[in-house]
Structure 1
Amino acid sequence: MIWIGIAIVILTFYLIYKNYEARLILALSGIVMAAIGWLVEGSPVTVGTAVNAFVNQLVNGGLVPTITTVMGFGAVMTYTHCSDHLVNALVRPLTHVPAIVIPGTVLITWVLNIVLPSAAGVAAAVGVLLIPALITLRVNPVMAAAAVFLGTWGSTISPGLMFNPQIADIAYKAGEISAPDAMIVIFQEAGPAVCGAVVSAVVLAVICCILKEGVGTAHPALSPAGEVRHFRVNPVMALIPIVPLFLLVIASKQVGLLPTKTFSVPVCMLIGTGLGFIVGLFRRQDPGDISRQFCKGAGDGFNNIVILIAAASLFAAGMKSIGLTGAMIEAMKGSRSIAMISAVIGPFLMAVVCGSGNAAALAFNEAITPYAADFGMTIVQLGAVAQLAAGIGRTISPIAGGLIVLCGIAHVNPMLVVKRTTVPCLFALVVVTIGMYYI
């Protein structure tokens, strides 16, 4: 049964790699494994139990409100153009200080990806402004795309990323933390993640110097891009996208300036959405259209994220039914280092291969992370490492959605961009792993 389970898992991720619908593949694989485990081995985890795992995630009070409100808020920020003002406000200084152009681009994109947690979304929002500006400064177009792409794993410490609420929920159910608060997870992983981002930005800047692809090295641009310099930034609109994040930080237990229970992620996102409505009214935008944008964003969050999490839960239940989870846990119990390496390498490689680390990291967190104590680690520690590794791995995948967007803007080959982000990402992976495991 174990070998059958391994074969099904390999086939599952191969099909996801071949761009088959991930939610369907995960769900079907989970049902097949649950059926085999129940019919052949008499496993207590039946097909009905596996399906219930799917359903329970659809009504998960910790995950669903967080993800849907974050995505709805992001849609409102895009529709009201508040995100455009924030991007321009952060990007403009780069055009005046050539020495910090490449690392600055990476870090600005990284920070913006926390506020706007969609990698493809932030790539489009930042890329359409920064890449033409960098090319005007005679930065090689490939390096311009690489600098923006390297910053698209900042969402790993966003409260809107699916993994942080998921890890918090698992840790809360296990009694490891006192509340299913994603900010508890984020505060533990933020330090290593920031260090990894800075290191990766510096490494890319060094590569840029070695390859001589920085400011003034490329042929003069055929048409100058003055959008960044000529865009009139409204400071109020630029601040609105970061209001929810600011509220979450000062309401966290680590800071405690506001009551944590009152200022939850959904509440903070709805406050930000309300401010977006006010901006929209001043811009004479139809409030009904703004409402529809929020609902569409929330619906997309449920469709693209919540159901994926539910499918991963069904897949994990199938692994448990066929005995694969138990075998993996026993193998990891024999060596803490095996568990530590698996949490890093597995999601990282799957993200590189698939262009998205979601399926691998979600499945790992559902199946293995709850047993972190058996390996001498905490749930938050093990789960955070898995999702950070997945985010970094996606940033060297030639088929990642964000990369495709950026290459379309810069008119460059994706493989050339990936060649420049690989080494910085490997440095970031090492820094993040050391930070999470040993510091």
Structure 2
Amino acid sequence: MIEIILAVIVIALVFYLIVKNYQPALVLLSAGLVLFLLAFILGKPILGSGDTTGFAFLDIFKQLELTFIDQLSVVGITIMTLFGFASYMNYLGANDVAVSMITKPLGKIKAKYVLVPIVFIIGNILSLFVPSASSLAVILMAILYPVLKKVGLSALTAGGVIATVATIMPTPLGADNVIAAKTLGYNLFDYVFLNHAIISIPTLVVMAVAHYFWQKYMDKRQGEKAYVDIDESKVEQEEKELPPKYYAILPMLPLLFIVIIEIFFRDIKADVVVLTFISFFIALIIEFIRKRKLKDVLNQSFEFFKGMGQGFTQVVVLVVGGVLFAKGMQTIGVIDMLTQSVQHVQSAGTILTFIFSGATFLLGLVSGGGLAMFYATIELIPHIAASAHIDGILLALPMQLIANLVRSISPVAAVIMVVASVMKVNPIEVVKRTSVPVIIGIIMVIGLSLIIL
């Protein structure tokens, strides 16, 4: 019983600190260490005989070392490589070329509200190139807002759609997909395209339709108040010479290679890291052929490795914190108690889905993002799901999708604050425009998960 009380106190403290915008990675790392310290005090073994240092207190930090090694060996290097490639593509201007080419035809559409669902879908496709929701929002406000304004759409409609574009697009290049697939024991391609996609794609289509009717209704309700001026200084982009149009294909090379190999050459065992490095060197060769200055090309290519560092600091440390926290919960004995309690419960899968999804929604709403919750619990899900006699994906996938969706209705989320500051309005005004489509999306995610998975 004492274990449960101590665990609840630690969980409540973690929730509070993340809500108060403390660094989530360090919060989770610290909480994991505290749980191991409590386990040490309670006389529980920290490590097995093969890994122990010989002194239980030092085993706490040995566990931290082993967690870093384990996560960096597979998940960590994958995430860092993907971040590095995205950073290099951004430096080359390949992402800008792709965004420009995809959005350019929108100016020919004259029926203004027809643009709403189209922009939403195209924006989600563009999130494959620019995974950061706030960065993509700035780019789209700069490129798309003039187009949308020209056909008569209000600024709040444009902002409401743009604030929801980087959400649940199924892609094997997403860090959360990489982690979920590995933890749940799925092939990455199968997890994304045979599970994630059958939930996320119908949800995105329904959200696009919901956007059409909701933005039209809100424009009619708000009248002239919806047509606010934007702060153009916040979306002005540096003038830079863009590379040729064929560079638009470069950011998609890893995804194309993954799809081609998984569909036509399944006997070939090439993971995301291998295919991303191949894509990097292809881009490097193309840059050299175009510029004919090897020294400059090699110097510029170091952006790839700088991006890998960003991947470590932005995601990998958070994942390590989440895994350490989960292992701390296991070591103190709480997970065993939880798994035993759900073994004979009727409809345990449905109940657990609502519990995990609800907790993710609440944390994401008040903190601006639910992925910290996802990373902190994904390691626990296989054990809990096995005890409830269900596939772990039933718990993990709704959590993952909701963690990404809820960001667009949190007034403290970076993407909401970016869009609000560009339009010089209160973030709540943006949330009013995103709320109905996102809530409908969340309901779709839970409903489809319970029906299909």
Q: TM-score, normalised by structure 2?
A: 0.85
Taking structure 1 as reference, are residues 93 and 59 closer, same or farther at Cα in structure 2, changes over 3 Å only?
Answer: same
Which of 278, 284, 287 in structure 2 is aligned with 1:277?
A: 284
Whether the aligned pair in 2 keeps the contact of 1:66 and 1:266 (CA below 8 Å) is yes
Query: Which residue matches 1:52?
Result: 63
Taking structure 1 as reference, are residues 370 and 389 closer, same or farther at Cα in structure 2, changes over 3 Å only?
Answer: farther
Task: Answer yes or no: is 1:197 the counterpart of 2:197.
Answer: no
Query: Which residue matches 1:68?
Result: 80
Identity across the alignment (%): 26
CA deviation profile, 1:341-367 (whole Å, cap 9, x unmatched)? 123212222112211222100112112
Q: Please give the alpha-carbon distance, in whole angstroms, between the structure 1 residues aligned to 2:26 and 2:441.
A: 32
Q: Please give the alpha-carbon distance, in whole angstroms, between the structure 1 residues aligned to 2:230 and 2:23.
A: 41
Which of 10, 23, 36 in structure 2 is aligned with 1:34?
A: 36
* Cα deviation, residue 233, structure 1: 9.2
Q: Please give the alpha-carbon distance, in whole angstroms, between the structure 1 residues aligned to 2:353 and 2:422.
A: 38
Taking structure 1 as reference, are residues 76 and 376 closer, same or farther at Cα in structure 2, changes over 3 Å only?
Answer: same
Whether the aligned pair in 1 keeps the contact of 2:89 and 2:251 (CA below 8 Å) is yes
* Cα deviation, residue 261, structure 1: 0.9
* Cα deviation, residue 406, structure 1: 2.5
Task: Answer yes or no: is 1:249 the counterpart of 2:230.
Answer: no
Query: Which residue matches 2:137?
Result: 123
Q: Mind listing any 5+ residue stretches in structure 2 that lack a counterpart?
A: 48-55
Residues 300-319 of structure 1 mapped to structure 2, 5 A cutoff: 300-319=310-329
CA deviation profile, 1:106-146 (whole Å, cap 9, x unmatched)? 11111121343222332233333123332343322222111
Q: Which letter maps to 1:421?
A: T
Taking structure 1 as reference, are residues 248 and 367 closer, same or farther at Cα in structure 2, changes over 3 Å only?
Answer: same
* Cα deviation, residue 190, structure 1: 0.8
Task: Answer yes or no: is 1:261 the counterpart of 2:269.
Answer: yes
Taking structure 1 as reference, are residues 428 and 136 closer, same or farther at Cα in structure 2, changes over 3 Å only?
Answer: same
Match of 1:212, SS state, is helix
Match of 1:114, SS state, is coil
* Cα deviation, residue 232, structure 1: 8.8
Which of 402, 420, 426 in structure 1 is aligned with 2:439?
A: 426
CA deviation profile, 1:28-55 (whole Å, cap 9, x unmatched)? 1111122112212535566626752563
Match of 2:331, SS state, is helix
Query: Which residue matches 2:18?
Result: 16
Query: Which residue matches 1:288?
Result: 298
Q: Please give the alpha-carbon distance, in whole angstroms, between the structure 1 residues aligned to 2:27 and 2:211.
A: 36
Q: Which moved more, 1:410-419 or 1:274-283?
A: 274-283
Match of 1:67, SS state, is helix
* Cα deviation, residue 148, structure 1: 1.0
Taking structure 1 as reference, are residues 65 and 75 closer, same or farther at Cα in structure 2, changes over 3 Å only?
Answer: same
Q: Which letter maps to 1:191?
A: I
Match of 2:302, SS state, is helix
Query: Which residue matches 1:402?
Result: 415
Q: Which letter maps to 1:256?
A: F
CA deviation profile, 1:57-105 (whole Å, cap 9, x unmatched)? 4443321221111101101111111111111122122222234211111
Q: Which letter maps to 2:76?
A: V
Whether the aligned pair in 1 keeps the contact of 2:177 and 2:188 (CA below 8 Å) is yes
Taking structure 1 as reference, are residues 63 and 8 closer, same or farther at Cα in structure 2, changes over 3 Å only?
Answer: same
Q: Please give the alpha-carbon distance, in whole angstroms, between the structure 2 residues aligned to 1:107 and 1:182.
A: 23
Taking structure 1 as reference, are residues 62 and 96 closer, same or farther at Cα in structure 2, changes over 3 Å only?
Answer: same
* Cα deviation, residue 284, structure 1: 7.2
Whether the aligned pair in 2 keeps the contact of 1:343 and 1:386 (CA below 8 Å) is yes
CA deviation profile, 1:175-204 (whole Å, cap 9, x unmatched)? xx4xxx322211211121011111111111
Whether the aligned pair in 1 keeps the contact of 2:363 and 2:370 (CA below 8 Å) is yes
Q: Which letter maps to 1:119?
A: A
Q: TM-score, normalised by structure 1?
A: 0.87
Q: Which moved more, 1:216-225 or 1:33-42?
A: 216-225
Query: Which residue matches 1:87?
Result: 99
Task: Answer yes or no: is 1:237 the counterpart of 2:247.
Answer: yes
* Cα deviation, residue 312, structure 1: 0.8
Residues 65-214 of structure 1 mapped to structure 2, 5 A cutoff: 65-97=77-109, 98-155=112-169, 157-172=170-185, 177=186, 181-187=187-193, 188-212=195-219
Whether the aligned pair in 1 keeps the contact of 2:168 and 2:405 (CA below 8 Å) is no
Taking structure 1 as reference, are residues 106 and 288 closer, same or farther at Cα in structure 2, changes over 3 Å only?
Answer: same
Residues 353-368 of structure 1 mapped to structure 2, 5 A cutoff: 353-368=366-381
Match of 1:150, SS state, is coil
Name the count of aligned residue pairs: 424
Q: Please give the alpha-carbon distance, in whole angstroms, between the structure 2 residues aligned to 1:131 and 1:433.
A: 33
